[in-house]
Amino acid sequence: MRILLLAAVMIPLQAQPLPTVVNPFEGRWDMVLTTADGSSSPRWMDYVEGRDPLIRIQPRGGSVHPAYDVDVDGPHITLVMDKGNDKRPKTTWDLKIKNKVITGTQKTGDQIATIKGVKAPDLKRDPPKYWTKPESIFNGTDLTGWEPIGDGKNNWVADGGMLVNTAHGANIRTTRTFDDFKLHIEFNCPDDGNSGIYLRGRYEVQVEYEKVDANDKYHSVGSIYGFLAPAVDLPRRPGTWETFDITLVGRMVTIVRNKVKTIDDREIPGITGGALDSNEGEPGPFYIQGDHTGGMKYRNITVQLPRQ
């Protein structure tokens, strides 16, 4: 009996794995910033855990970028969203999380705004087996089904089957909203032109022919602005007609430009700059930028939807 007990005592205990501690901020967040006057605009954040946590921020405009001077203390984060310069103060975020909801403040100089964020939806779903026939969403003769948005003057006109932005001014969007779709659109971008086609009003497909060294691949024609670069380099063709065929199912996007597949079933992580909202789980419109440069032309805009 003593020998058995001694043997039992001498058997080493199996090391038990430590429980995995997941930071409550980890993941992607759809956020809304509200200013003192009550106006609101979308933001997005991605938190990747590690020895030095990586946080990416999508501001109201511009491109997604890393946060600076990140300090994580359990359910509390402070960070610098914009370092500022001689002409403007830096912008900081102070965030807390409780019950899977982020709340906090943004401070730029003496201006303070509130921030609220919820977990971004995965949007994982199987692609449809069948699609409807292509349906025109621009009739070529007037702006039926479209409406200008933004503060600029509306310079969009229908001209000979084309949707033309005659000068820098307002953006334009469809009055209908869409979830999963196949979009066909033809575009003619002049030299030094810059525009964009927004999918669900949240994800920009870049359209531009600025100077060759003005943009990297993540911000060049055919990119999902700031997130996905085209895998194939195609010749520049300013002032000529080109085509996009874009399929979006959930977050997964495929882009065919001029009959060449340039982005193949890639995940869009989050909203891009200029998004209308951060409600990623909801349908949204197509919208086209007109507030960068004039001279943009679009035509033969059709959509196919999942067929039951």
* Structure token digits, residue 128: 């449809």
- Other beta carbons within 10 angstroms of residue 145's beta carbon come to 14
Full-model pTM? 0.92
pLDDT surpassing 70 at residue 302: yes
Q: Hey, what's the torsion of the CAs at 276, 281, 286, 291, to 10 degrees? A: 20
> Of 2, 21, 19, 20, nearest to 10 (Cα)?
2
Q: Distance between CA 187 and CA 48 in Å, rounded?
A: 37
* Structure token digits, residue 152: 């600029």
Residue 247, pLDDT score = 98
pLDDT surpassing 80 at residue 9: no
Tell me what the mean pLDDT of segment 229-248 comes to.
97
Residue 20, pLDDT score = 59
Instruction: State the alpha helices, DSSP H only, in the chain.
Output: 2-10
Say if CB 277 and CB 118 are below 8 A apart: no
One-letter amino acid identity for 203?
Y
Q: Tell me the pLDDT of the chain averaged across its residues.
A: 93
Residue 19, pLDDT score = 53
Lowest mean pLDDT among 23-37, 40-54, 212-226: 40-54
Give pLDDT tens digits for 167-205.
Answer: 999 999 999 999 999 999 999 999 999 999 999 999 999
Question: Running DSSP on this structure, what letter comes out for residue 51?
Answer: S
pLDDT surpassing 50 at residue 213: yes
Tell me what the mean pLDDT of segment 274-292 comes to.
97
Residue 83, pLDDT score = 94
Q: Distance between CA 236 and CA 220 in Å, rounded?
A: 11
